[in-house]
């Protein structure tokens, strides 16, 4: 993401320090991760210490400081999905992709995250890939779903 675009996003929020999180959310949403240069630019223009930007970029789960994979897998670990066996679905995904939650595989194909409740409890256990919800997942079906993604 180039500096101009970062500046545009900052200006959209009136360059207000209290909008720091909103600005980073916009950058994350467009760029899929937060490059160091973007963080430095934001700190500079908003006149906030880099330590605060760094803390926020690591404190909140929405942000990634490294590039993410082409496909983002979110496994819901909410209580309703948990009692319906979400852990076993997660284990199956981990086995098949070779990555743990928070990681991206070496081909930059999949990024895996756990989410604490997507709010589709009737369909639990739920796995969301690129925003598409796959409900009533069973560990044995995971391979079938994942092989559709390049």
Binder of another protein out of 51, 107, 147, 150 (CB under 8 A): 51
144 binds another protein (CB under 8 A): no
User: Site size for another protein, by CB under 8 A?
Assistant: 53
Can you tell me which of 45, 82, 105, 109 binds another protein, judged by CB under 8 A? 82
| 129 in contact with another protein (CB under 8 A) | no
Q: What is the largest CA-CA distance in the chain?
A: 52
Interface residue with another protein among 9, 34, 84, 90 (CB under 8 A) is 84
| Binding region for another protein (CB under 8 A) out of 4-12, 104-112, 123-131 | 123-131
**Nearest alpha carbon to residue 129 among 105, 141, 103, 111:** 111
Q: State which of residues 10, 27, 34, 77 lies at the interface with another protein (CB under 8 A).
A: 77
Contact positions toward another protein, by CB under 8 A? 16-22, 24-25, 48-52, 54-56, 58-63, 77-85, 88, 91-92, 95, 115-124, 126, 133, 135, 138-140, 143
């Amino acid at each position: 993401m180039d500096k101009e675009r970062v500046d545009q996003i900052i200006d959209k929020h009136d360059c207000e320090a209290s909008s720091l999180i909103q600005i980073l959310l916009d950058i994350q949403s467009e760029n899929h991760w937060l490059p160091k240069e973007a963080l430095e630019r934001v700190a500079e223009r908003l006149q906030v210490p880099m330590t605060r930007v760094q803390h926020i970029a690591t404190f909140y789960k929405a942000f990634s400081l490294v590039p993410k994979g082409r496909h983002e897998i979110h496994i819901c670990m909410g209580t309703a999905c948990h009692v319906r066996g979400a852990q076993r679905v997660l284990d199956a995904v981990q086995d098949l992709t070779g990555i743990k939650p928070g990681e991206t595989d070496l081909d930059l194909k999949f990024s895996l995250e756990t989410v604490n409740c997507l709010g589709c409890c009737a369909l639990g256990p739920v796995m969301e890939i690129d925003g598409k919800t796959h409900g009533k997942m069973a560990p044995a079906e995971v391979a079938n779903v994942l092989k559709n993604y390049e």
